[in-house]
Amino acid sequence: MDLPRVERELKKRLVYPYRWGRKQSNSWDLETNFIYTTYSFATLLRRTENFDQALKDYALNRWYNFWSAMAVEDSFASHENVEANKNTYDKLVDFKINAIPFDHKTSVFPKGFNQSYKYAREHEEELISWLYANQSQQGRKHLKNRLFIILYSANDMQHWKMKSEVLLLKKEIESYVKIFSEKNLYTFDFGEGKVYSDLLWITKDT
C-alpha cells in the first residue's frame, strides 16, 4: 500500500465537518459499500453528490475510517513479527502478532467513557472493558482478542483528524510491535474463555 498517497487522500477529508447523522446501521452500510473500492477522495465526492446530507456524511466517514484502518493493517503486516490474515471475510482476526490473533480497532478517545485522558491512561483495563461493551455493535461485534488503537489530540481535541496521520501511525505501530510481549497483554474472560487485549495510545500534543 502506498501509505503517503493514502495520507494525502485522507487529509482531503479534513476540511469537511465530521458528523454522524445516525449510529452505524447495516442498511446504510449496504448503501455505501462502494467505499471499499473508492481510492480517491475526489471519486468519493462524485459518487455521493446525489446523496442527502446525512447519508453523504455517513459515506465520507466510513470511507475515511476504512482507509485509515487499511493503512493501520498494512503498517502492522509490514513487520516481520506480524502475519496478516489473508481471509478478508474473517471478522475476528486481522493479523497475528507473535502468533497471537487480533482484530484491531482504531478509535478516537471516547467521550462516552466519561473519564479524563489521565484517568484512562491510569486505568487501561477499565477502558478496555468499556470498549468491548460499547463499540462495534453491528457486524464486527465480538468478544475475542482485540487490539485497540486510541487516538488523542491534546491541542485541538479533534481526535478524529489523527486517523489521517498515516505515517505517524506507522511509526508508533512499528515501535509497539518491536517490544510486543504476551506477558504485557491484558486478559479477560467474558464467558467464552480467555481473551487477550491491549491499548496502543497514539497522542499528539501540538
28-62 burial by CB neighbour count: b if 16+ within 10 A, else e?
beeebeebeebeebeebbebbeeeeeebbbbbbbb
More confident residue, 28 or 155: 28
- Identify the DSSP state of 79: S
Residue 92 belongs to domain spanning: 3-204
Q: What percent of the chain has pLDDT over 70?
A: 93
Distance between CA 187 and CA 189 in Å, rounded?
Answer: 7
pLDDT for position 20 = 85
Q: Which of 78-82, 85-89, 140-144 has the least mean pLDDT? A: 140-144
Q: What are phi and psi of 84, to 5 degrees?
A: -70, 145
Q: Domains in the chain: how many in total?
A: 1
Distance between CA 124 and CA 198 in Å, rounded?
Answer: 8
pLDDT for position 26 = 78
Say what the pTM is: 0.85
Max mean pLDDT range (42-56, 127-141, 187-201):
42-56
Distance between CA 106 and CA 94 in Å, rounded?
Answer: 12
